[in-house]
Amino acid sequence: MKILNSVWFSQMRPPSTIGIVVGEDAVTSEKKAYIGTGFGVDEDRDRKMIAEYGSPFPLEIVQGIADQLSRERLNEIFALRKVLVVADRVLTEIESDRDVHKADQIQLRGFINFVMKFEYKKEAGHE
């Protein structure tokens, strides 16, 4: 089976990690999904193990999980952008304040710019 994607959930009981693996059957080219546990040390190994020994899992549920995770991620991005816009406004106000060390201002401005660019790249799928 050719593994196409996987999603991982927090540990239920250490040392195992719960995962869902989606793949394409080598013979029929049919998409299939499996759920199982991995050791949480080597992602490729865990993906292969779940694809081979995991329990079959409905693709409709996988799609529902993906849709939910996408909505949650978008909400996180919008919330982060709001925080960064506020931080940018505060920084703009304090840049003229001589009591704030210039190096701190530059460092904060660089951090805000870096996070905003990184989030745009992640959203576009270019991590």
pTM of the model: 0.55
CB distance 100 to 91 below 8 Å: no
3 confidence band (pLDDT: 50, 70, 90): very high
Q: 47-95 pLDDT, tens per residue?
A: 999 999 999 999 998 888 887 777 777 677 677 777 777 776 776 666 6
Place of tokens 């040392």: 15
CB-based burial label for 60 (10 Å; 0-12, 13-18, 19+): exposed
Q: Could you give the strand order of the β-sheet that contains 2-9, starting from the edge strand earlier in sequence?
A: 2-9, 17-24, 31-38, 55-57
Contact indicator for 8, 18 with CB cutoff of 8 Å: yes
pLDDT tens profile 99-108: 656 666 666 6
**Dist CA 82 CA 101 (whole Å):** 25
